[in-house]
Structure 1
Amino acid sequence: MIQLQSFTRISDYEWEIPRTFRQDMRVPVRVFASRRLLENALGDKSIEQAVNAATLPGLVGRVVVMPDVHQGYGFPIGGVAATRYPEGVISPGGIGYDINCGVRLLATTLEVGEAEPYFKDLIRALDEYCPSGVGAEGGMRLSEAELDQACREGARWAQKRGMASEQDLRRTEEGGCLDGADPTKVSKRAKERGRSQLGTLGAGNHFLEVGIVEQVFDAHAAGAMGLLEGCLTLSIHCGSRGFGHQICTDYVQELQGAVNRYGIRLPDRELVCAPLDSPEGQAYLAAMRAAANYAFLNRQLLAHQARLAFEAVLAGKVANWHLHQVYDIAHNIGKIETHEIDGQRVKVCVHRKGATRAFGPGAPGLPEEYARVGQPVLVPGSMGTASWVLVGTEESMMRSFGSSCHGAGRVLSRNAAKRSVRGEQLQRELEADGILLRAGSMAGLAEEAPSAYKDVDEVVETVCGAGIARKVARLRPLLVVKG
């Protein structure tokens, strides 16, 4: 049983379970958390899952756990692990079912006071232009050949059709497209689910949120991003919809046999995996990349549709309503990257599940405008609470595989939240706080109540206190569209 005494305290924000804690561990587990957040994490199986993950073949460095950690499938949500490429393993549970669930932030130079008279019209338009809900379908239904092309091109598919700018792609992780996607490794069932869902928000914790830049902490970085105090922003949180979920489901089943074929011993069957250089591992990697590109495209289409909603409501009434992209990042993904480990540059497959890339200044792949300040890190709060914009640091590159937290992190399951919160009452409370809300159902709203999540400010204070991210701006919600 894992207890507080099982950890070695590194600092106020960093703790470690040594490799010697359990005989089958290949690397230690490093947890970024305040003492209070760590004690809370011991209330579920998330830390035990991190220890189990530390037994996977080919791991390097350590398994890293973020302060928003909570229990997931196999790996904890909020976990980061790197396996040596190409002989290490890849595990679907270390990436997640909603492949490339992520966040896109757009911003304006429109002051809130100018836009406020149009808020009710704006939230209605956003809800209309951006379909949401379980099984929601968008305005386009692609043929299988068109879907295959979209999965190879990602956000570039939208650019070719006038629905993305060069800046949009430049300010998206990997330019909005992972090389090596192969739609032939995706099942017919996944494709059928994905053909009609592009440009849709989905349900669960996915949302569109219009906010205000409440406070700027780093004027230089905020200036590079075009974030101005008192002005409107738009956040989009969603992923690969049923397409990515089906791909994960398919390969979790497929790789059960691979574990036996390659003689891999696991403490938890949910950690199912395959060697990266095996046919099974290569097939999953190619399918996962197809789902990641689908998600980049999905958020791009939602951004295009949101811009149309802003235009429909605000054009001719106010100036400066145009939405420019700040950044788009994934937080459920596997990436082939090179990191310094024990003084050596090592090529690895970084599994980030409920954790976002947080590359520091000068890191490869950043757009020129962010090269000196570091990569934007987008940390949405729970519905009705603040969100944060951070940047990655040189420390994150050395200590967390260039990674940081991805949100507030749940403390109550969805069922527990529904038992403790009434959706109608929550809506009244949020509106009393000045937050307009559109939700698909009151039950779904209750599942995402702020009380079901950790304090996002404490989570952010932890990663910044640990030095793996730095504060840029705090955003406060004004309008929220939930699936």
Structure 2
Amino acid sequence: MKNKIKITGKTLIDLGFRSGKWFPEAIDFININQLEGEAMHAYLEQFKSPPIQDLHKESIPFAINIKAENELEEINVNSVITSMNTLMKTPTIVNGAIMPDACPTGPNGTIPVGGVVVAKNAIHPGMHSADICCSVMLTDFGKTEPKKVLDAAHKNTHFGPGGRDRDTQYRFPEELLKDFKGNYMLNNEKMIQAARSHLGTQGDGNHFLFIGISKNTGNTMMVTHHGSRGPGANLYSQGMKIAERFRKDLSPETLKQNAWIPFDTEEGQTYWEALQIIRKWTKTNHEVIHNTTLQALDIEALDRYWNEHNFVFKDKDLFYHAKGATPLNSKFMPDITGPRLIPLNMSEPVLIVEGETTTNNLGFAPHGAGRNVSRTQHKKSKTGTFQEIFEEETKGLDVRFYSNEIDISELPSAYKNAETVRNQMDEFGLGKVIDEVLPYGCIMAGDWQKNAPWKKRKKK
């Protein structure tokens, strides 16, 4: 009796299968069970890969809601447009836009800050970035003295790395804990510990706590700006790993930073649900800081609203990835209670806006003033001591750094010209300003790394 020919990996490749971890097990099963013909094809059906999705030959057109007004801005705008042109070849992408505060954030093909990218049935973790649900919340403190609010807030917030110690942690809501435990991407010790300890913290970088006066009412307003801290960063890391597995199988030509999770998969559904829970956590994070400040002053809020500007928003089968773009359209925010907030810099008003969706804004507005140069470049461009620069740029304001170390990369000159951003908002129809919170003072992390424990040890 003639020996049956054993199949190999080449046999499977010749049959149209893509090499994968399943190859050895499948080959052994077929050979041991002597499968052939229809029986072998029926067994292999379970391993069929979806067809490779090629990059678009041409970039999908996108709206450009930005104009360069000097040479420095021209370099910045050209870089943003070049990066978007590369990104817009990603197979899932159907539309996009860039805002007046747009600035590049990584290698070519990475979504810029101030970018909106619309994908069909796909979530791109790299397009909402690690700071998931970076957002702003406003509370109206009525006629309370601004300094009293700033002092009370200073005692109740927390800036810098890490979270709160056990003695200063806020109570973690039971309902939120149940949400975390009900989603396998969030239900692990590291994630839940970060969610507990980071509640009531604001991190570092450009995050702030701002106190100002409403131009319309004269009331004192508190505005906080921060994202999802450790829990969001942890989910982002998981999302990027999952998306990379899909990228290798579905679209190897797609850039790693633009990998996606198909929404119609178990992973896509679970990741989407996890994003909504992280959004809920982040909103709670704002609320505990605002509420404890109110309690410290024994007053009640007259009004409150918030919006994120770093998130993925769903409309039917379309996923709007906003990396530093403020949603104008209420369909993107199920819990909408008021207009939107656009902060500029510590010496400029926080803009309160509303607006209509158009073909060029896709339902979004800018999220702030953005940068023309990196933090390092900005620091190198300044002359004088940090104290001198600080005093000149914050004259008349009560500006505090939580670490007690000045961070000149967060001073007003580090950002784009606020008037330019406002003018371009008008020109491109990106929201109408209905009120302004005029600056009194703010708190930011400051240069916490200057006296970081590891630096002190190194000096010793």
Q: Which residue of 2 aligns with 1:358?
A: 328
Map 1:32-431 onto structure 2 (within 5 A): 32-36=65-69, 40=73, 42-43=75-76, 45-60=79-94, 62-73=95-106, 74-84=110-120, 88-110=121-143, 115=145, 119=147, 121-137=148-164, 139-140=168-169, 148-149=177-178, 151=180, 183-186=183-186, 188-214=189-215, 216=216, 228=217, 230-266=218-254, 268-311=255-298, 322-338=300-316, 347-359=317-329, 365=334, 376-393=339-356, 396-421=357-382, 422-431=385-394
Alpha-carbon offset, residue 332 of structure 1: 0.8
CA contact (8 A) 1:386 1:456 kept: no
Between 233-242 and 138-147, report the one with greater CA deviation: 138-147
Return the offset for 1:420.
Answer: 4.0
**1:298 Cα shift?**
0.7
Is it true that 1:455 corresponds to 2:456 in the alignment?
A: no
How big is the shift at 1:334? 0.8
Rounded Cα–Cα distance in structure 2 between residues aligned with 1:300 and 1:184 = 26
Q: State whether residues 366 and 430 of structure 2, in contact with CA within 8 Å, keep that contact through their aligned partners in structure 1.
A: no
Q: Give the counterpart letter for 2:192 in structure 1.
A: K
What one-letter code is carried by the residue in structure 1 that aligns with 2:308? Answer: A
Q: Deviations over 1:222-258 (max 9, x none)?
A: xxxxxx1x33211111111111012112322332221
Separation (CA, whole Å) in 2 of partners of 1:151 and 1:444 = 37
Distance 1:364 1:293, change over 3 A: closer
The answer to whether the Cα contact below 8 Å between 2:153 and 2:289 also exists between their aligned partners in 1 is no
Q: Say which structure is richer in strand.
A: 1
1:388-447: CA deviation from partner (whole Å, max 9, x where unpaired): 111022xx254333111111112232223333455423442355x221122123656212
**Following TM superposition, by how much is the alpha carbon of 1:133 offset from its aligned partner in structure 2, in angstroms?**
1.6
* Structure 2: unaligned runs, 5 residues or longer: 1-54, 446-460
After superposition, the Cα gap between the structure-2 partners of 1:237 and 1:24, relative to the gap in structure 1 and judged at 3 Å, is same
Amino acid at match of 1:405: P
Cα 1:446–1:272 change in 2 (3 A) is same
Contact 1:150 1:294 in 2 (8 A): no
Residues 15-49 of structure 1: CA distance to partner in whole angstroms, max 9, x if unpaired?
xxxxxxx9634520211013428971643733222
Length-normalised TM-score, structure 2: 0.75
Contact 1:329/1:357 (8 A) holds in 2: yes
Letter in 1 for 2:301: L
- What corresponds to 1:175 in structure 2? none
Q: Residue 27 of structure 2 corresponds to which residue in structure 1?
A: none
2:59–2:86 Cα contact (<8 Å) kept? no
SS of the residue corresponding to residue 201 of structure 2 reads coil
Q: What secondary structure is seen at the aligned counterpart in 1 of 2:222? A: strand
C-alpha distance in 2 between matches for 1:23 and 1:366: 36
1:145 shift after superposition = 7.3
Contact 1:423 1:443 in 2 (8 A): no
Amino acid at match of 1:383: M
Q: Give secondary structure in 1 for the equivalent of 2:89.
A: coil
1:151 touches 1:294 (CA, 8 Å); kept in 2? Answer: no
Shift in alpha-carbon separation, 1:348–1:472, aligned structure 2, 3 A: same
Distance 1:43 1:53 in 2: 17
* Equivalent-residue separation in structure 1 for 2:119 and 2:286 (angstroms): 29
For residues 419 and 37 of structure 1, do their structure 2 counterparts lie closer, same or farther at Cα, with a shift above 3 Å needed? closer
* Counterpart Cα distance in 2 of 1:24 and 1:276: 24
The one-letter code matched in structure 1 to 2:343 is P
Residue 125 of structure 1 aligns with an amino acid whose one-letter code is A
Ranked by relative contact order (alpha carbons within 8 Å, sequence separation 6 or more), the top structure is: 1
CA distance in 1, matches of 2:173, 2:156: 24
The amino acid across from 1:334 in the alignment is V
The Cα shift of 1:203 comes to: 1.3
Per-residue Cα deviation, 1:294-346 (whole angstroms, up to 9, x for no partner)? 111111112112212443xxxxxxxxx643334200111112125xxxxxxxx
TM-score by length of 1: 0.71
Unmatched tracts of structure 1, length 5 or more = 1-21, 153-181, 217-227, 312-320, 339-346
Change (3 A) 1:250 1:424: farther
Distance in 2 (CA, whole Å) between partners of 1:295 and 1:132 is 15
State the SS of the aligned residue for 1:78.
strand
Q: Distance in 1 between matches of 2:234 and 2:269?
A: 18
> Cα–Cα, structure 1 residues 122 and 363, in superposed 2: closer, same or farther, change >3 Å?
closer
